[in-house]
Structures are given as C-alpha cells and as structure tokens.
Amino acid sequence: MAPNSVRYEGEAHPRTLYDKIWADHLVHEADGVSLIYIDRHLVHEVTSPQAFEGLRMSSREVRRTDCTLATVDHNIPTSSRKNFKDTKSFIAEADSRTQVNRRCASPVLQQVVTLEQNVQEFGLTYFGMEDKRQGIVHVIGPEQGFTLPGTTVVCGDSHTSTHGAFGALAFGIGTSEVEHVLATQTLLMKKAKNMRIKVSGKLAEGVTSKDVILHIIGIIGTAGGMGCVVEFCGDVFENMSMEARMSVCNMTIEAGARAGMVAPDETTFNYLKGRPLCPKGKDWDKAVEYWKSLRTDKGAKFDKDIHIDAADIAPTVTWGTSPEDVVPITGIVPDPSQATDETKRTGMLRALQYMGLEPGTKMQDITIQKVFIGSCTNSRIEDMRSVASVVKGKKVSSGVEAMIVPGSGLVKKQAEAEGLDKIFTEAGFDWREPGCSMCLGMNPDRLKPQERCAATSNRNFEGRQGPQGRTHLMSPAMAAAAAIAGKLKDVRELLPEMQATNGKMAEPTKSMDFYSEPIDWTAPKEVQEPPSEGVAAPTSAGMPQFTSLDDVVACPLKKANVDTDCIIPKQFLKTIQRTGLGKAAFFELRYEDDGVTERQDFVLNQEPYRSASVLIAGDNFGCGSSREHAPWALNDQGIRCIIAPSFADIFFNNCFKNGMLPIAITKDIVEELWTHAEAKKKLTVDLTKQEIRREGCEAIPFEVDPFRRHCLLNGLDDIGLTLQKAEHIDSFEARRSSTFPWLDGPRYSRMKAEVRISTAKSSSFYTRVAKGFLGGLPASDDRPERPPAAQLILSATGNAIERAVRVAQDLKEEGDAEIIRIRTQTVAGSNQGGQVPQVLITVKAKSKPHAVPVMVASKGGAKEGSNGKQGTDW
Ligand SMILES: CC(C)[C@H](C(=O)O)[C@@H](O)C(=O)O
Ligand code: SF4
C-alpha cells in the first residue's frame, strides 16, 4: 500500500504538506468529523494526572506504550542535583531551601510523584529526574528521534507545535484529549485551514529565528493563524538549522495557529540520522524515501498566504504583555492614543501600566534586573553557543541576575563538553539543571513583583514569570547582550567583538556522540490489576449535558486576548484533580495582591454577574497555554457558556470536553450583547434551537458543529464513542505497521488478539482457538506463522456471552491464562437492531510469550493485522 500522501503527487489535486499528513492518518470519517491516528504522544506531569485517573476509573489501558514517552519538566527545581537521592526528598529540599511556602511543597511533590506512579502502573518509558535525558518535553522528543517527519505528534502542552519543524503535524491538546489518546491512540478532529508564511531573502547578521517569529507575530497578530496549520517556507526557513526551525514552529501557537511546520529536507535527515529512536538500516532508507515525498505540491491552494521580506526583520523585542506587542530594538514604546480600536487602546494602556513603561521611551533605554535564557523556544545547544559568543570574556552587569537553563540533560552535557558552562559562569551567569524553570515559574524560579526580565521564552503574559513580573521576549543573543549591558541592547552593535570571540571558541562537539545511546524502552507492564467483574464499560455516556441556559444575566468581560494564564495562573496547576478550581478563576484580576480581597473593578465581583453562567468576552478568548484547568476553573465558577468573536483552538476544544458551550459570533453582536448585559437584562442560550434569545429582540442564531452539538445535548463522552470504532483503529494500525514499520516501537509485537465468540460453535471449539493464539500458530498455505499472543480479548454479544465466560474459565482452570478484566457494554445489534449487551473479557497468557521483532511480524502485512483480526474469522 502506498502512503496516501504520495498517491496524488503530480495529479489533478495538488495538496499541501498538511493535507498529505492528514490523509495518511485518517482512520475514519463520519458526519464531518475525522478520527486521526496519533503516532507520537509526549507526556508531562502537569497535564497528565487527571488523564491517567480517567483511565483508571474506566479500567482502560494505554493503547500504545511504545508510542508514548514521558518526562518531568514544569515543576522541578533547576538547582544542582548532585545530592539527588529520590524525587520526594529532593523537591522538598529544594523547596525549603528557597523558602517556598511549605504548603506549596506538597502539591509540587504530588504531581511529580503521581507521574512516577502512573508511568510505572501503565508501563510507559519515562525520563525522570535522575535520567540524563530528562528535559523539557519539546526538547527531548526531537533529541531522541522520537519526533519524525510525517508523523502526528501530540502532548498536553501548547508548544507541541515545536515538533512541526520536522515536517510533523504536531499540536497541543487538553487533558481530556490526553486521556483520549492514551486510551485510543487517536483524536476526533476537524481539519484546519492551510496557511503559508513565506519569508524570502537573507537575514541580516545578528537577526535570528526568534526575531523572525516575533516579527511574524507582530504582523499577523496573536489570532492571525487561528484555525490554520501554517507551513513556513522560503529561503529563510530552508537555510535554518533544525534548532532554529524548532524555535519558529514553537511560537506558531503564539500566532494563534493550530500547528506550524517546515517541509523535511536534507537538514532534517542529517539532524535525525543515528538518533536512538530513528529508523535504522533498510528502514531508514524507506523512511527517507517517504519523507522526501512530504512537500507541498505545485499549485496547492492555501487559504491564507503571507509574504515577508527577510530584509525587513531586525532584532525584535516585546514591550507589552502579549507576544504581538513587538518593536524592533531600535524602536520606541508605542503610544496607545494612536490606536484606532477602543478595546485595543484600553488593552495597551493596561499593558503599559503593568509593564511600568511610558509611551515614547526608547527600547534601548529600558533597564533590566533579570535575564532568563531557557524554555522550549530557546534552550538547545545552538542557543547556548549563541549566548556564549556574546558573553565570552565579559561580565554580567552589576545589579542583574542572569540564569541559563539548558533544555535537557543532554544539552547540558554537550554544552559542558564544549566548555560553554565555564564561559557562562565566568561571565556571572547561573548555570542550572534542565526544566521549564522561569518560563512560567511553576518551580521556585520566579520574578519578584515589578522585576524586569529579558527572556528567551515565548510568553510575556501578566504574571507569567511571577506575579507582577515584567517580561520582554527576545532572542538568546539579545538576552545575552542585555545581561552585559544591564538594559535592552541591539546585539548588532556587539558583532565585531563577537566575531573576534567566535574565532577563539572551542569547536562544537559532534552531537551524535551524546545522543546515540540506546534507550531501554520500558517493557509492557507485567502486573495487572486483579480481575474486576462488571467494571465500567467503554460507554459513550458520562459527560454533563448541555441543552439551554434560560433567562440568565450574562457577564460582560470587555477584554480581548484573554489568555489561559489569566483564566487560571500557574500556581493552581499543581492539582491532580479536575474540580475545586472555581476560586482560582481569573485570580489576578479578581483579587488584590493579598489574594483574598476582591477587586471591586472586576466585573465577576459585581452583582448580578458574580453568579453568571454565561460570559461574553472579546476576540481570541482562551489563547496561550493548553491547560484544561482553564475551562475546569470557569466551569467550577459556574460559567457554562462563553460567547466571543473568536476563540483559541485548544481552549475551544477543551470546553466541549467538559460539557461547556463556546459560541463564536460576530464582533458587532458581541458588542450588542455587552450593552444588553451591562443593562443587566436577561437572555437565553438555547443549544437545541441554536439561538440566543432576548425579550423584545430578534433571536440570534449561532453555529455549532453538529457532532459537538450532539455530544453536548446527549452528554456523550468522546472516548466511549471512539472505542466503538475500535475495529477501524485496529485495521489502521495493521496498515501502518506494514507501510511505516519504523513507527512501531521496539517492543510492539502485535501481542493482542481478539476471538469473537458466537453461538455457532461450542465453547470447547473456542477454547481450542484461544489456546492456539496463546501458543502461537504455525504457518500454513494461506497464513504466515503467528507469534503467541500475550493477551486475548474474548468478545461476545447476547446469547453468546455465557459461552465467552465459559471459555475464559476453561482457560483459567486449565492453566493457560488468567482473567485480567471483564467489561460489559451495550452495542448496536447487528440483525435485530436496537442495543444488545456485549462482554469483553481480557485474558493474559500464563507463559511469557516471546516478543517478536516488528519486521518479522509485519511480513504478513496488513492482512495479518496488528491485533489478531484473524481471530474474528475463525
Ligand atoms: C502546563 C501547560 C499546560 C502549559 C502549556 O500548554 O503551554 C505550559 O507549558 C505553558 O507554557 O504555559
Ligand atoms: S512554554 Fe515554558 S512552560 Fe511551557 S513547555 Fe515550554 S518551557 Fe515549559
């Protein structure tokens, strides 16, 4: 089977890179909703606890442990790990050393320890704190070759877009979707639009990839890429290193896009070759052949097209509290009175007040107290080298505290081998251990109130690096220059000195020496939970229903670009539950600095809005981080429906997963509804009729995706619905194994089989069949040899259920297998129509089957299947 992506090459339907990857991952399509297969799933401690708990509650397992990789990054201290014994003692120590409130110590610990328990229980490969490969989730994926061209990559983290640098379709998801992927290895999605951003020409010296993406966001705005997957093309991206492409794709989320990508080329292949999880030998050649087909066809259509001239890009910095608030370093702080739009002017005024800046101030006159070099945007080896070339032989300005945090243990090791750490420490930088660190300050690294920081991270939201902290985003070279100057500085002025220094720098080491160590991929877990009769089935019911909100006064929140950091700040993300977050909703806007006294000017603190169930907000609501804690907090606060001119994609999706209704409606209508709400008049939001009603006014119709509407009205849960499509997923996986064998992990060996039991044959017949699977099947004329199955699913409906139970008992009594799970559910009946009961009994082989290498097992091709589909034919 040829991959879908090459089928139309050169034909009448030219397609974009995104179209091709989408086509190659389509498992099933119905009613305009697509079930998309996910090749790579990265997991971290903040957005996974509730997802694992969900699996546990419904007795579900991780479908593809071989395609899932976990690490810890957000919470962990970046102080020296020399005395590391175990997570518990280390985090507690680090917390008390930095005088963090003891009350905080326990939740921090809880999340990391929870992840450690979860990866053990579910059999996942994990780079923990004592592993030198640990690091920021978006640094370790590419570093290990886990991220590959043409794959779909997800993580419960908005900056998953980073991986698009490899020509992967990579995007952030919320926690409910994390659970969905863990359980099904798929996601229910709607196809996004295609957008192209072309930057042509040559970048001037001193201008880097970070300046390019900041410049782009300045032009298109933080909502500019909304609803789109962006392909970056043109000489500038072609000439970029992989590290530079990652910085660009990383911040596509700040441009509001779902994902960003660069077509894979020789630079990509050279970066990947030899990495531990990359295909090897013949598989490598086959993979490269496929990867080369991953280019947008000539004549393919883009819904949005942007062209930028590289010559227009200068070293760029932010002045405000949104990543779109950018100016060239040679510029001045803008004047809000020049803004034409009122919401924009109010936003600018607030940003200037927060940042403590006056319009007209020269950017280069702004003094700083902190420098943070790190984050998933800029913490890779090239970034380290760039900083070293600026600071070598110089000193950090007095009164400035500068820290540099490598993105992973391997980046750290490589930088140290190149002697960069010495350059940093001699200049007065604090050289730390890997983690997210002061990018969002979930660990002890934070700005103090009013402290001003030159940062290489990606978000300058209010409170992002610490309550009342002030962040200016820029490139590593620019942040380094600011550290030396004590104020924002044009790095181009240092170029002559830097050129002289670079000549004296040690040769970069060959990165492969550090990256090619084999991974001991975690074995599937041996210990299973005890059998649990009648455990919750993969049913599709289980979400709160939404039908209508009748006669309520809505709350007018007249603010655009409300980010999820603002909806719920980082200090509340340490929970491992979904509930109890109402008090944290809009925390900074809602309370004075003491965190208790309500701010009277905040609308949700005023009557009758305090208990509003409908919120009416400005453009681009819910932008930024993927944290599902944002809808959880709003929901807990009582808000079930949000009306706005536009929403950020991840937040929008997250709402539906929690039985909440986001309504996107024109700006004019939003303004009309603001006036209505300010007059404290009531309205009704009716999902059944898809309209907003107000007394004496015409009803306002609104659009909602039919599938989402159906789920909301009926309280249906996506995972249950998807599991009803299990057969499609099974056959997709079989096809994937034969077409893209390099995507199956080393221990993935098709060890599950299904035996469908009917009343046509006796139970002893099915027991023999089951034993055949458990012992492995010899080759025959029409079938290649079949390795023993580690687990069997005995499935039966209606009258055959009793027979299935008998087979399971026989296998148990005769010592062939143990019963590990029994699930019951109702499914659509085949002949008689209506719903019929179904039982799925999972049994585990008593003797350990030998794992079969992927290539051997895939010889049977798609027909043989990944989970014993043959079993159904017996
Ligand atoms: C914690 C996580 C949900 C969040 C994200 O999605 O971006 C974080 O990485 C951030 O940068 O704010
Ligand atoms: S943006 Fe910051 S907090 Fe989020 S993943 Fe990247 S480094 Fe971590």
pLDDT band at residue 7 under the 50/70/90 scheme? very low
pLDDT score at 830:
59
Instruction: Flag whether pLDDT at 541 surpasses 50.
Output: yes
Q: How far apart are the CA of 172 and the centre of ligand 1, in A? A: 9
- Which residue lies with its CA nearest to atom 6 of ligand 2? 376
Q: What is the mean pLDDT of residues 463-480?
A: 97
Q: What is the mean pLDDT of residues 570-577?
A: 91
Percent of the chain with pLDDT strictly greater than 70: 86
pLDDT score at 514:
57
Q: What is the mean pLDDT of residues 207-212?
A: 98
- Rounded Cα distance between 38 and 27, Å, is 10
- Rounded Cα distance between 4 and 21, Å, is 8
Q: How far apart are the CA of 160 and the centre of ligand 1, in A? A: 10
Instruction: Flag whether pLDDT at 861 surpasses 60.
Output: no
pLDDT band at residue 854 under the 50/70/90 scheme? very low
Q: Tokens at residue 774, please?
A: 């458990």
- Rounded Cα distance between 658 and 640, Å, is 9
pLDDT band at residue 871 under the 50/70/90 scheme? very low
Provide the b/e sequence for 511-542 (b: ≥16 CB within 10 Å).
Answer: beebbeeebebbebeeeeeebeeeeebbbbeb
- Which residue lies with its CA nearest to atom 10 of ligand 1? 625
Q: Which residues contact 702 (CB under 8 A, 6 or more apart)?
A: 663, 664, 665, 690, 691, 692
| C-beta neighbour count of 82 within 10 angstroms | 6
Q: How far apart are the CA of 626 and the centre of ligand 1, in A? A: 6
pLDDT score at 866:
27
Site to substitute for ligand 1 among 627, 649, 654, most atoms within 8 A of C-beta: 627
3-state secondary structure of 814: coil
207-221, 389-403, 555-569, 758-772: segment of lowest average pLDDT: 758-772
148-157, 281-290, 576-585, 736-745: segment of lowest average pLDDT: 736-745
Alpha carbon 662 to its chain centroid, in Å, reads 21
pLDDT score at 542:
65
pLDDT band at residue 855 under the 50/70/90 scheme? very low
Instruction: Flag whether pLDDT at 874 surpasses 80.
Output: no
233-242, 391-400, 410-419, 751-760: segment of lowest average pLDDT: 751-760
| C-beta neighbour count of 682 within 10 angstroms | 15
pLDDT score at 699:
97
Q: Which ligand is nearest the CA of 624, by number? A: 1
Tens digits of residue pLDDT in 628-670: 999 999 999 999 999 999 999 999 999 999 999 999 999 999 9
Instruction: Flag whether pLDDT at 374 surpasses 90.
Output: yes
Give the up-direction half-sphere exposure of residue 642: CA atoms within 13 A in the CB hemisphere: 32
Q: What is the mean pLDDT of residues 94-121?
A: 64
Q: How far apart are the CA of 535 and the centre of ligand 2, in A? A: 38
Is residue 456 within 6 Å of ligand 1 at its C-beta?
no
Instruction: Flag whether pLDDT at 546 surpasses 60.
Output: yes
Q: Which ligand is nearest the CA of 155, by number? A: 1
Q: What is the mean pLDDT of residues 702-708?
A: 95
- Rounded Cα distance between 87 and 82, Å, is 13
pLDDT band at residue 672 under the 50/70/90 scheme? very high
Nearest to 377 by CA among 623, 585, 562, 139: 139
Site to substitute for ligand 2 among 45, 159, 473, 574, most atoms within 8 A of C-beta: 159
- Rounded Cα distance between 42 and 156, Å, is 8
360-369, 453-462, 776-785: segment of lowest average pLDDT: 776-785
- Rounded Cα distance between 804 and 158, Å, is 44
Which residues lie across from 614 on neighbouring strands? 641
pLDDT score at 521:
62
- Which residue lies with its CA nearest to atom 4 of ligand 1? 625
pLDDT score at 530:
34
pLDDT band at residue 287 under the 50/70/90 scheme? very high
Site to substitute for ligand 1 among 377, 625, 629, 651, most atoms within 8 A of C-beta: 625
Angle, alpha carbons 478-482-485 (nearest 5°): 135
C-beta of residue 406 within 8 angstroms of C-beta of residue 143: no
- Rounded Cα distance between 700 and 694, Å, is 9
Instruction: Flag whether pLDDT at 499 surpasses 90.
Output: no
317-331, 486-500, 678-692: segment of lowest average pLDDT: 486-500
- Which residue lies with its CA nearest to atom 5 of ligand 1? 625
152-156, 520-524, 849-853: segment of lowest average pLDDT: 849-853
For ligand 1, what atom is nearest to the CA of residue 46? 1
Instruction: Flag whether pLDDT at 671 surpasses 90.
Output: yes
For ligand 2, what atom is nearest to the CA of residue 442? 3
Q: How far apart are the CA of 101 and the centre of ligand 1, in A? A: 23
Q: Calculate helix-pair angle for 102-122, 49-57, nearest 10 degrees.
A: 50
CA separation, residue 229 to residues 169, 224, 763 (Å) = 9, 11, 52
pLDDT score at 403:
98
Instruction: Flag whether pLDDT at 167 surpasses 80.
Output: yes
Q: What is the mean pLDDT of residues 523-533?
A: 39
Instruction: Flag whether pLDDT at 71 surpasses 80.
Output: yes
pLDDT score at 608:
96
The mean predicted confidence, pLDDT, of the chain is: 87
- Rounded Cα distance between 248 and 264, Å, is 15
Q: In this predicted model, which residue has the larger pLDDT, 479 or 530? A: 479
Instruction: Flag whether pLDDT at 784 surpasses 60.
Output: no
For ligand 1, what atom is nearest to the CA of residue 439? 11
pLDDT score at 540:
57
pLDDT score at 802:
93
Angle, alpha carbons 427-431-437 (nearest 5°): 130
Q: In this predicted model, which residue has the larger pLDDT, 443 or 166? A: 166
Instruction: Flag whether pLDDT at 747 surpasses 70.
Output: no
Instruction: Flag whether pLDDT at 528 surpasses 50.
Output: no
Tens digits of residue pLDDT in 310-320: 999 999 999 99
pLDDT score at 308:
98
Q: Tokens at residue 675, please?
A: 């006036």
pLDDT score at 786:
64
- Which residue lies with its CA nearest to atom 9 of ligand 1? 157
Locate tokens 């053990």: which residue?
Answer: 120
pLDDT band at residue 160 under the 50/70/90 scheme? very high
Q: What is the CA radius of gyration of the chain?
A: 28
Instruction: Flag whether pLDDT at 834 surpasses 80.
Output: no
Residues with CB under 6 A from ligand 2: 73-74, 136, 157, 159, 375-376, 436, 439-440, 457-458
CA separation, residue 73 to residues 76, 83, 160, 355, 578 (Å) = 6, 19, 14, 28, 21
Instruction: Flag whether pLDDT at 691 surpasses 60.
Output: yes
Tens digits of residue pLDDT in 585-627: 999 999 998 999 999 999 999 999 999 999 999 999 999 999 9
Residue 344: Cβ-neighbour burial (10 angstroms; 0-12, 13-18, 19+): middle
pLDDT score at 53:
92
Q: What is the mean pLDDT of residues 408-425?
A: 97
169-173, 175-179, 233-237, 852-856: segment of lowest average pLDDT: 852-856
C-beta of residue 260 within 8 angstroms of C-beta of residue 229: yes
Report pTM.
0.84
Q: Which residues contact 230 (CB under 8 A, 6 or more apart)?
A: 195, 196, 197, 252, 255, 257, 259, 260, 261
For ligand 1, what atom is nearest to the CA of residue 458? 11
pLDDT score at 121:
87
